[in-house]
Structure formats: structure tokens, C-alpha cells
Amino acid sequence: MTTPAYSGLGPALTYVHERPLEPGTLVRVPLGQREVLGLVWEAPGLSLEGLEPGQARAVLQVFDAIPPLDAAWRGLASFAARYYQRSLGEVALAALPPQLRDLQAEQLARKLKRLAKAAGSSTKGGHQPDAANSNAGAPAAESAADNSAPPELSPEQAVALQRFQADDRPALLFGTTGSGKTEVYLRAVQELLEQDPQAQALVMVPEINLTPQLEARFRERFARWGVVALHSGLTPAQRLDHWLLAHQGRARILLGTRMAIFASLPQLRLIVVDEEHDPSYKSQEGARYSARDLAIYRAKRESEGRSPGHCRVLLGSATPSLESWRAAEIGRYLKLEMPQRIGGGALPRLRLVNMNHQPKQCVLAPALLESIAERAARGEQSMILLNRRGYAPVLACHACGWKSDCPHCSAHAVFHKIDRTLRCHHCGHSARVPYACPDCGNLDIAPVGRGTEQLEEQIAGLLADARRADGGPIRVLRLDADSTRAKGSLEQQLAGMHEGEFDVLVGTQMIAKGHDFRRITLVASVNADGGLFASDYRAPERLFALLLQAAGRAGRDASFVASQGTAVELWVQTWYPEHPLFAALAQHDYPAFAAQQLQEREEALMPPYSFQALVRAEARTQEAAQALLNLAAQAGEALPGREHLTLYPAVPMAIQRVANIERAQMLIESDSRPALQAFLAAWQEQLQLARSRPEAKGVLRWAIDVDPQAI
């Protein structure tokens, strides 16, 4: 049975059972005074000879009601644990539905009977069962007709699909926003499932808010196949039901976020990774895995011992990650290109607003404000992007210099005007807004900076005298993590936007990707400069992707734009209009931007031309956190692969203190991935030993992040 690293029990524990158990079988076993879920694993050469009677405890229950997790799934878990420097138990058990860990074998058997009964009734009634109130379940009657006929493919879509089917390599679908990438995904899934009556497909999206939209499209198209979702927005019961349906092969299509890469799909033949560039595919806690990279490995693992290309991977993006772009450039991936929008719609024209020439303290440039009002009067919509939620990043007293700092973090508490609170977005601390400065008593404390709450309020005020097409006042909608917290609120607000109830959409990056708004003809970014000069070398790549993805929300309905006679535009307010990033953005020229960035990366020997790992330590004091990392670095001088590595000194993290815990990090670079992996595997012991040194007293935990996405 596998165990997590922090348990201190070693990589696996030995139990006995009256009969041999197949690897991958789920069991319940005693651990101390508790009963826990375990997973039977291969144990080559294991012998029970020499064990005293009773020394190895007995397995309590065997989950015979479901098939064992297959060799391909176990291979994926083993690789992820090995590559991302975590224990096998942490990866394998964390990949299972949480509710499964609490069930007895007989409880699981009853749940499976209920699912089977629901599937049977759906077959008789001609509709899918409502698995755990989730509107997802087993397939309905195979003879049921699909709800809608697929649209005719454009020539570019047809060529991309044909080339994908004819080549075994992982494919990168580089298609401009609005070029119809989703339809290519749908057709690839459809052709697979029609050819193989057992095949399963996994379709991944970066964020939960995109899952319901994609799920609706798949359900509309594939009424006769089981479609289930897997993401953190589901209840524990829903996650378990969906996992079981996929594991049993009853669900042929699984949609999900990054956690779905570990779903058990015994007949997996296709993996689609939409918006493959998105940082959300990289986990930032536990095993810090990249779901995109694991998709490539999983497809290769599923194809071992079978025909080439038995399981295929299709990565899609209008702004691919530089790692994937280079892999396609050198031929390791198949590059599929779709540069034209469906229906011949034009891409937005860039209009840079030089803020050096605008009135002081202006929120939106007068010309931009006028354009938004004109479009609303014609029945068009506008979208304003500000990637900062709350009303203001900080409250400040200009008399004494007091700022609304979080008492537990080295960060400011954000001012939320709606409920008059100061909230830390790092530790969750919340406090009421003081009536006066806590330090000097000054009543004139004021917000500094701007968040989406304030922008919504200011735009509504600036457009108070403008009118929409029906003569009513202009309506502004805000979409961010705060406004969509209530269950169902995101879907409801998006529906209002699609139906034309709102004229201006204000939001964070959650509005910039994946949404198919038909009436938006103007997109504006009001604070893009932060990504131009950030310390993280990936910041320009992320900014370019965000702006291009946001621009793609405009002009998606070519017939609507033509009937309006409107110019589709992307406005960017900036203090640095001469920055070279904007030259590539004006041409929607991702290849040119990627070439420039890759040249800089190659000259600096940065990824993808080198390989990195970050080691992070958390402790009661900053000195202890840094001491752990520096002591371990000194002890690792003779370890395998060290000659190919550069270990930088430990430094505080950008947000140094979170929830009263000090944080430090050390960057490791190498020109050899095998050398980096060999060093990290051997270095774990040195980190553990360094923790016992007096200088590192107070260290709470440490973690290795392989291929970090943020430094």
C-alpha cells in the first residue's frame, strides 16, 4: 500500500490477504488506530519469509465491486511522483475522489447499484440520468439521435482535422481566436467514438468557469454518449459519481480542469488540452504537476505495447506556450494552423492610448469613453479588462503614511467597498474598514489604486448620461471571483451578457478567454503595464497572451459586425506605447512575438533552453527558511548531476510572509533535464538532514517545484 512522504513510513507498507490481490485494487487497511484507503501496488521481489506471525497486518476490505486501476494509470502516477519529486502515495491517493476514502466496501457497492439503476432507467426513458444531481451520467440509448447536426467545417478546419488524424505525433492546433478550434475538438472526439464503440476521450480546460459552457456544447452534440465533468466546483458526491462512471467506461467523454488528467479512463484514446498555454494547468500546491505536460506523457504511456498513436494528444491555443511552440517548430509536435476567423470576421484593430497625454487622474481616456457610449447606443457591447479585484489594492492615510497592511502577511489588505471590509487575498484575513486612521486618527483615509469594483462604479458614473439602443441607461456588469461566488451566479450573469441585458462587461482575466460573446465589438485593457517590466521572465509572454485572448472576445460574429458597420477594436491604455510587445500585438503576430522571446530566452539560457526547479521553504523565521536551503545546497556538492547545475543563494519569496509563516526559495538551473532530476532525487535526503540542524530550527515544511511557472 502506498503512503505519503510526510508520514515518515516509507514509500509503501506491507499487508497480507488470504488471496493474491491484483495491482491497482483498492482496499481498506488498518493504520495505527484508524482505517484508511489503500492502493495495492506492484512489489517486485517482495517476500514475506522471515516475518513473524502477526507482524504484517491484514487487509480489512477489498473493493471488488470496481475494476483495479490499470497499468497505464499506475504508470502515470509513478512517473508524476518521480518527476515532480513527491511520494507515490501523495500522487496516487490524492488523484482519487475524496469521498472514496471514507466509504466502506459495501457502501461503494450500493452506490454502484444506484448508478447502474439510473443508467438503466435513462436507457428506457431516452435521457441521461441525473448523477448526484449533476446533470451527468451514463450513456443513454445508443440509438438516440444527437440533438444537433454539426456545422460544416471550414477548409482550414477540415485540413487541420485531416492532418491530425494522419500523424501520430502530439499536435499543436495554433488557431486565432474565433477560428473554430472547439469545433475541431468536437469532430475529433466524434470521429473517435464512432470508430471505436469503447473509446474514451478526455477534454481539459484551464478554469472551472469555462467548463459549463464547453459541457453544454458537448451535451448538445453528443446526447447518445455519456458526458461527465470533473473539477473542484462539484460536490464530493458528484465527483465520486463522475469518477466511477469514467472508471467503468460508462462515460465516454470526460471534461475537466487539471485534476482530470489523473482520472481513471481505461479506454482512453484522445486527450484534448484547450488553451494549453494557461498557467492554471500547473498545480501550485501538493504535487506541483503540469497537467499539460502529463497529457503528453499519458498519451505515450497509453500507447505502449499498442499501435502507434493509440492515444493521441491535441493541444490548442491562439497563444501557445513557448515550450509547445518550440516543440512544434523543431518537429517534435505536429503544428496545425488556422489563421482565419470563422465567417471571415476581422481581428480587432489595436488602438494604443498614450496615458502621458491624457487628463490627470482619468479613469478611461475620453476617446475610449466616447467609443463605448456610441457602441452601446447601437446595441453593441464593450469589455473592459482589469486584472485586479476589489475596490482598491490598499487604503492609506496621507497624513502619517499608514497603509492597510495584513497583520499576518507581508501584503496589503484589499479594500472591498461593497461590504466595507479589508481582505487579504493571500491568507483570507478580513476586518472592517476603520472610520479613522488607526495610527494618527485622521478621518481622511483614502483608497489608492483601482480594482474591478471601483472601475465598475466609475464607468457607471461616467456613462450616466449615455443611453443604450432601447433608450434606457447603460448597464454595467462586473465579473470576478467576488461577484461570481454564489452558486449559479456565473452562469446567470453570462446568460445576461449573451442576451444583451448588459452593455459593458468589466472583469478580471476570467472574462478574457473561452467566452463566445456575439455582440462585443470593443475590448479595452486599462492597466497592462505591470506585465512589461515584471521580475518574472514569463511576464511578457503572459501579458501578450492575455491581451490577445481578450481581443479575441471582440468581433466573433462576423454577420453582426457587418450589419453594424462597426470597426472592431482593442484599446490598450499604457504609459509605454513604444514597447516592442505592442508592435507584435498590433499585427496579431504571435509567431513574431514568440521568435523574439525565444531568441532572448536562448541568449539567456532560460527555459525552454534550460531546465529549472524551485525549492521553497516555510519556517517561523526568514533566517531559518533560508538556512535550510543554503545548508542543503552546501551538502549537495557531491551529489549526482551537480556539475551540470547552478544553485542560486536562497532569497525571500516575493510575498515573504503569509499567514505568519516566513517563506524563502532557491532557484536551481541546469542544461540537462536528466542531471537535474538525478540531483533532486538524491538531494531530498540532504534537505531532510538540514532540517535537523540548529540553524534551521523552526522550519515547518519544504517543497520542490519542478518546471516552475512563476519565480
**pLDDT given for residue 7 in this prediction:** 44
Q: Determine whether the annotation assigns residue 424 to a binding site.
A: yes
Q: How many domains is the chain partitioned into structurally?
A: 5
| Residue 548 located in a structural domain | yes
Q: Tens of pLDDT along 39-76? A: 999 866 556 566 666 668 889 999 999 999 999 999 99
Same domain, 337 and 369: no
User: How many Å apart are CA 174 and CA 590, to the nearest integer?
Assistant: 10
Does residue 61 contact residue 69 with C-beta atoms inside 8 Å? no
* Chain-centre distance for alpha carbon 202: 15
| Same structural domain, 172 and 275 | yes
Question: Beta strand 430-432 with 421-423: parallel, antiparallel or unpaired?
Answer: antiparallel
Q: Which residues contact 587 (CB under 8 A, 6 or more apart)?
A: none
Q: Quick one: 231 and 266 in the same domain?
A: yes
Please check whether residue 109 lies inside any domain of the structure: no
Residue 48: predicted pLDDT? 59
What's the whole-model pTM score?
Answer: 0.91
Give residue 10's pLDDT band: very low, low, confident or very high (50, 70, 90).
low
Number of helices (H), then strands (E), in the chain: 18, 26
121 domain residue, yes or no:
no
Q: Is the same domain home to 509 and 618?
A: no
- Looking at 66, 95, 124, the residue that finishes a domain is 95
Buried b / exposed e over 70-92, threshold 16 CB at 10 Å, is bebbbbbbbbbbebbbbbbbbbb
Query: In the predicted model, what is the mean pLDDT of residues 216-236?
Result: 89
Say which CATH number the domain at 267 has.
Answer: 3.40.50.300
- Burial code (b: 16+ CB inside 10 Å, e: under 16) for 172-209 equals bbbbbbbbbbbbbbbbbbbebbeeeeebbbbbbbbbbb
> How far is Cα 93 from Cα 90, in angstroms, rounded to an integer?
6
pLDDT at 258: 96
Q: Based on the domain organization, do 381 and 508 belong to the same domain? A: yes
Whether residues 474 and 597 fall in one domain: yes
Q: Tell me whether residue 644 is in a domain.
A: yes
- In this structure, what CATH number is given to the domain that contains residue 16? 3.40.1440.60
Cα distances from 321 to residues 303, 325, 471, 497, in angstroms, run 25, 6, 45, 30
The answer, yes or no, to whether residue 525 has pLDDT greater than 90, is yes
409 is in an annotated binding site: yes
How many whole angstroms separate alpha carbon 648 and alpha carbon 237? 46
397 carries a ligand binding annotation: yes
Whole-number Cα distances in Å, 672 to 403, 636, 639? 46, 17, 15
Q: Is the dihedral of CA 260, 263, 265, 266 positive or negative?
A: positive
Co-location of 187 and 322 in the same domain: yes
Q: Which of 573, 601, 629 is the last residue of a domain?
A: 601
pLDDT of residue 6: 39
- Over residues 255-284, mean pLDDT: 96
Query: Nearest CA to 402 among 425, 426, 420, 422?
Result: 422
**Among 549, 571, 601, which residue terminates a domain?**
601
Q: Is the separation of the CB atoms in 219 and 144 below 8 Å?
A: no
Confidence of residue 345 (pLDDT cuts 50, 70, 90): confident
Going by C-alpha positions, the residue among 228, 524, 502 that lies closest to residue 365 is: 524
> Is residue 114 a part of any domain in this protein?
no
When the pLDDT of each residue in the chain is averaged and rounded to a whole number, the result is: 90
Burial class (CB in 10 A: 0-12, 13-18, 19+), 346: middle
Judgement on whether residues 513 and 568 belong to the same structural domain of the protein: yes
Assigned domain for 493 exists: yes
- Check if the beta carbon of residue 171 is closer than 8 Å to that of residue 164: yes
User: Strand order in 61-62's β-sheet?
Assistant: 34-39, 26-31, 61-62
Domain span at 333: 153-342
Distances (CA, A) of 149 to 146, 157, 238, 474: 7, 17, 30, 37
Please check whether residues 413 and 513 belong to one and the same domain: no
Is residue 311 marked as binding?
Answer: no
Does 427 appear as a known binding residue? yes
* 317 and 369 fall within a common domain: no
Do 159 and 247 reside in the same domain of the chain?
yes
Residue 406 lies in a domain: yes
Confidence band for 121, pLDDT divided at 50, 70 and 90: low
Q: Is the pLDDT of residue 420 over 90?
A: yes
Q: Are residues 178 and 164 in the same domain?
A: yes
What CATH number is associated with residue 624?
A: 3.30.70.360
131 is a domain residue? no
Residues 6+ apart with CB under 8 A from 374: none
Q: What pairing do the DSSP bridges indicate for beta strands 200-204 and 268-274?
A: parallel
